[in-house]
Amino acid sequence: GGWPAVCDKFRAARTLSAVESLKDPETEPYRSKYSARALLQEVKQLLSAAEEGGEAVLAVRRAVLEYELGVNHTDTEELSAGEEHLQRCTQLLEPHRLSPDCVSLYIQAQNNLGILWSQRDEIETAQTYLESAEALYNQYMKEDGNPPLDPSEHFMAEEEKLTDQERSKRFEKAYTHTLYYLAQVYQHLDMIEKAAQYCHTTLKRQLEYCGYYPVEWARNAATLSQYYLSKECFMEARHCLAAASVIFSQAGQVPSAEDDETEPDQQDLPERKAEIARCWIKYCLNLLQSARKLLEDNIGELDPDRQLELKAQRKKEEDEKEKGRKKAVLFGTSDICDSVLAMEEKVSSVYPLDFQEAREIFLVGQNYVQEAKEFFQVDGYVTDHIEIVQDHSALFKVLAFFEEDYERRCKMHKRRIDMLEPIYADLNPQYYLLICRQLQCELADTYYEMMDLKVAIGNRLEKLDSHTVKKINSLAQFAIKYYELFLDSLRNPDKVFPEKLEEDVLRPAMVAKFHIARLYGKLITSDSKKQLENMQTSLEYYTFLVDYCEKYPDAVPAIETELELSKEMVNLLPASMDRLRTKLSSFV
């Protein structure tokens, strides 16, 4: 009997909760939790009988039990009972919360109150508890700093007590949890910058104290990389992804340091790996697209002066910048660091400024496309698969920007057509309307681009040969076909085109009309009658734009450039058509 028996009961309750409960049958998911609760209640009764060590000690032991009961009730989805126990725990500890005996327990109780309130969707209340836990940790480290007792030690015999090293590890882990939950709270409150900062610190600490599941850690690091991408912080984004890839490769190999249990979702490894690959694709794509933005002139071509200027500027900055920023974000211990650095060296994190540099990034992205497609196959993962192919197409599109040779540029766009057309052909627009529209627009734009390139190539020739004419006409026809398919998808079941366009399709629809008008103007024919018909069609499409904007002035900002050009054409075309008619009648 006596105190050792009380400690045994307490330990048995914790084992039931942490270990046995994992084996509970689905029909009684909380069986072990309920048994643990009964044991904790018994320990509570015995406490008052086993008077050992005075009032203060008793208060702390009571607080430990209230904490365990609070977590137990929260685990079994009895939130209000859970809240009562946790509140009682913090009330008992309040006066001594900065003492080494209490500080860790107090922080853990506040963490759990934070979780409890976020489960109720009361995010601001959760925030107060978690921020107060964070403040307490900082105050304790400043004023005392010695490794505090772990809550479980209040029910241990002297000889079982933990080493300082183990105490410190558990205390730091509790604080890491605080930061991890705060990151999620800030995310919920749309405080994105702060969320990212806390997420980064959490990941860093998990590695430092070896408390993480490799797959979950890698997933969080990959997610964080997407935040850095949105801020165009490519070095940080690359670092997170490299670390994600390195840590992910530990999955299933090293026993996880998170309490020696294996990670729950081992069976999803191929999917998780493919998700990280998709984050790498986005990295390569964003880096190339941001570089294009810096380099393009007002008609979307590469500006050579700007290119020289940026190259000179980069030479100057490179040396200073790397050193300063590296320190701030590095993850992990030295051996992890080496693997991460090796991984980072496989792809640049500075803007590519010419075709060679762009191609290297493109190839890395393309490798990850193949890796991601291995898992996300068309059968079973239609939308994911198509998104990956669209990213692949976008990689070719942005690479084409860096290519000076028009013929080679045309071939890159042809690759896009070849990957998008078969997918489009197999899609049922009834189920995948949105994706069908995206593909129609992208195919149309790509044919349009190729037609423009062929015209530019033709303009360099002394005389247009019939082969080039055929090519230009055929590309224009395909572009028109896909633009018309897109516009048809906007019609109602009676095939009537909408009077007023929805906001989300307004610009794409107007650009489609504008491009069709231009395409009819580009068709080459020696038959003047046919040419007149094409001009007439062209005029109708330009007129549509002008009339629509007169009727709905709020549409103007979305298509200002196209509208200006359409107005010009509506003024010019009738005169050109009259001239052609006069010419025709003189032949009759």
What distances in angstroms separate CA 9 from CA 4, 24, 154, 156, 273, one per listed residue? 9, 20, 13, 11, 43
- Whether 148 shows a pLDDT value over 70: the answer reads yes
Burial label, 287 (beta-carbon count in 10 A; 0-12, 13-18, 19+): buried
Distance CA 62, CA 46 (A): 11
> What is the structure's pLDDT at 260?
46
pLDDT average, residue stretch 286-300: 93
What is the band of 321 on the pLDDT scale with cuts at 50, 70, 90?
low
218/464: higher pLDDT: 218
Per-residue DSSP letter, 347: S
Instruction: Judge contact between 6 and 155, C-beta under 8 A.
Output: yes
Please compute the mean of the pLDDT values over residues 80-105 and round it to a whole number: 93
Class of domain 2-236: mainly alpha
Q: Which of 53-57, 135-139, 343-347, 534-538 has the lowest mean pLDDT?
A: 53-57
Buried b (16+ CB within 10 A) or exposed e, 360-369: ebbebbbbbb
Task: Find the range with the poorest average confidence among 248-262, 382-396, 445-459, 524-538.
Answer: 248-262
Q: Look over the chain and give the mean of its residue pLDDT values, rounded to a whole number.
A: 90
pLDDT band at residue 265 using 50, 70 and 90 as cut-offs: low
Domain with CATH 1.25.40.10 in the chain: 2-236
pLDDT at 328 over 60: no
pLDDT value of position 334: 67
Q: How confident is the model at residue 264 (pLDDT cuts 50, 70, 90)?
A: low
- Residue 488, pLDDT > 90, answer yes
State the CB neighbour count (10 A cutoff) for residue 35.
17
Determine the Cα–Cα distance for residues 295 and 252; give it in Å rounded to an integer.
45
Does residue 398 register a pLDDT over 70? yes
**pLDDT category, 507, cuts 50, 70, 90?**
very high
Phi, psi at residue 163, to the nearest 5°?
-75, 160
Q: Token pair 């792809």 is at which residue?
A: 347
Q: Would you mind telling me the total number of residues written for the chain in this entry?
A: 588
Q: How far apart are CA 83 and CA 66, in angstroms?
A: 10
DSSP for 482-539, please give it.
HHHHHHHTTS-TT-PPPSS--HHHHHHHHHHHHHHHHHHHH---S-HHHHHHHHHHHH
Phi, psi of 350 (to 5 degrees): -110, 155
Radius of gyration of the chain (CA): 33
Over residues 450-479, mean pLDDT: 93
The pLDDT assigned to 51 comes to 58
pLDDT of amino acid 383:
94
Is the per-residue pLDDT at 323 higher than 60? no
What percent of the chain has pLDDT above 70? Answer: 93
Alpha helices in 296-381 (DSSP H): 304-329, 334-344, 355-375
- Residue 320: pLDDT band with limits 50, 70, 90: low
Going by pLDDT thresholds of 50, 70 and 90, the confidence category of residue 296 is: very high
CB atoms within 10 A of CB 45: 9
Please check the confidence at residue 522 and state whether its pLDDT lies above 60.
yes
pLDDT band at 330 (very low <50, low <70, confident <90, very high): low
Per-residue pLDDT band for 1 (boundaries 50, 70, 90) equals low
Q: In terms of Cα–Cα distance, which of 588, 473, 488 is closest to 531?
A: 473
Instruction: Give residue 300's pLDDT.
Output: 86
